[in-house]
Amino acid sequence: MLIPQRQSRLIELLSQRGMSDLETLAQALNVSLSTVRRDIEQLEKTGQVTRTHGGAIWHDLRDEQSRPYAIDQRLDYLLDAKKLIARAASRLVKPGETILIDGGTTTYHLARELVGQSLQIVTNSLPIADLFVNDEHVELILTGGLLYPRYAVLLGPVAEKTIAAIHASTLFLSVAGISEGAMFNQNLLLVESERRMIEQTQRVVLLIDSTKFGQIALARLGTLEEIDVVVTDAGINDDAKVQIDRAGCQLIIA
């Protein structure tokens, strides 16, 4: 593959994923780590990517005037369904509880439902954390880590170390898709953080709109057997209900 072709493919991969580690990019392009590193250095000079420790972040030059995070652009998508899911999930939260909230649009709407309640909240999401900055009832813990600007979440070894040091009663989780009982998300680093989250909580509540059933994304997170409660909307089909039932999850239809 010629250098321009390789760099064009690299740009395509990063634009789809938002960010990635060097090893994943090298495998996708079938080249060495040093080759990917040199390509990223070249692309950084053009302003198309930003280098990170061990990876790169996509920077869309066409989007300079957009809102700061892509999550903002998705908050209104399926808004009614997400609000219903969030309201139903909020009823699972008890006063004084320690909960872990994963980044995502539906989990963001859940967090809005919880403003003013007496809680300990751990999150990797900057938009979610921002809701509680001035909330005197909430003890807020941010995981820290590498900022993934596409979704405004904190990822990587620092985030995973923080998550491994805490224990929460309930995790409210978001995923990009579920297919044949398996859960998927868009980013490998995101999945690693979510794996740690699942390990550190007693109960896992999955918030997912019905359009995500039957969808597959880049990285496999795990299976529905690891989920205790699935909260979704009335658009869920019979096949998805069967998958949830086989996994032994409680199903709440908002």
Residue 236 belongs to a domain with what CATH number?
Answer: 3.40.50.1360
> Which of 125-150 are b and which e, b meaning 16 or more Cβ less than 10 Å from the residue's Cβ?
bbbbbebbeebeebebbbbebbbbbb
Distance CA 247, CA 245 (A): 5
For residue 210, being part of any structural domain is answered with yes
135 and 194 housed in the same domain: yes
Q: Are residues 247 and 138 in the same domain?
A: yes
Strands 146-148 and 168-173: unpaired
Q: What CATH number should be reported for the domain holding residue 32?
A: 1.10.10.10
The CA-atom distances, in angstroms, between 143 and each of 102, 154, 155, 171, 239 are 11, 7, 8, 14, 36
Please give the tally of structural domains in the chain: 2
Compare 60 and 203 and report the one with higher pLDDT.
Answer: 203
- Co-location of 169 and 58 in the same domain: no
Same domain, yes or no: 117 and 233? yes
Residue 110 lies in a domain: yes
**What percent of the chain has a predicted confidence (pLDDT) above 70?**
90
Whether 100 and 51 map to the same domain: the answer is no
Q: Which of 38, 63, 88 is the last residue of a domain?
A: 63
What is the model's pTM? 0.72
Based on the fold, state whether residues 89 and 34 are members of the same structural domain: no
pLDDT, mean over the chain:
87
Residue 116 located in a structural domain: yes
The answer to whether residue 68 is domain-embedded is no
For residues 161 and 243, state if they share a domain. yes
Worst-scoring range by mean pLDDT, 20-24, 53-57, 146-150, 249-253? 53-57
User: Domain end: 41, 63, 85, which one?
Assistant: 63
Range with the poorest average pLDDT among 15-29, 31-45, 129-143? 15-29
pLDDT one-digit tens code per residue, 86-131: 999 999 999 999 999 999 889 999 999 999 999 999 999 999 999 9
Same domain, yes or no: 10 and 114: no
Residue 63 has pLDDT above 60, yes or no: no
Both 139 and 243 in one domain: the answer is yes
Whether residues 145 and 238 share a domain: the answer is yes
Same domain, 17 and 121: no
CA separation (Å) from 69 to 18, 77, 128, 134? 11, 15, 13, 21
Residue with tokens 């010629």: 2
**Would you tell me how many other CB atoms lie within 10 Å of the CB of residue 155?**
25
Where a domain ends, among 26, 44, 63?
Answer: 63
What is the residue range of 171's domain?
73-253
Asked if 47 and 6 count as a contact pair (C-beta separation under 8 A), the reply is no
Q: Kindly state whether residue 13 falls inside one of the protein's structural domains.
A: yes
| Per-residue pLDDT, 140 | 96
Residues 53 and 86 in one domain: no
